[in-house]
Amino acid sequence: MEVIRIADVQKTYALVLGAVLVLLGLVGFVNNPVLGLFGVNALQNVVHLLGGAAIIWFGYKGGAAKPTNMWLGIAGLLLGVLWYIPGAGGLLTQFFGIDANITYLHLAVGVISLAVAYGVKGE
């Protein structure tokens, strides 16, 4: 039986999430709302493209996947919580087109990313 190394879990998660963000950024330019659920705008698509590329890059760097997952989790939770704050939520909607569905997705990605970053124990 082959043993899965802990570093591989962190790296795989970061690379998959980075690739999904790049894909969402591309799809958002041609199909809005994405999957019929997530309204996006051009600025949000650019942020997803750049963020996804950065996550892929850091995911490939030796030892950088775990901190990448940690910061991704913090960013997801922060975006999710900010949307509920009067004023901040309006700005996120105005500039990035963030709505309730995207907020729930950000919160879920934040929780899962932190669970991967901190829940996957070291070797």
**pLDDT tens for residues 8-49?**
899 999 999 999 999 999 999 999 888 888 889 999 999 999
Task: Name the amino acid, one letter, at 49.
Answer: L
The token pair at 98 is 């963030």
> Which backbone phi and psi does 38 adopt, to 5 degrees?
-110, 105
- Under the banding of pLDDT at 50, 70 and 90, the label for residue 122 is low
> Rounded to whole angstroms, how far apart are CA atoms 64 and 11?
8
CB 73 within 8 A of CB 114: yes
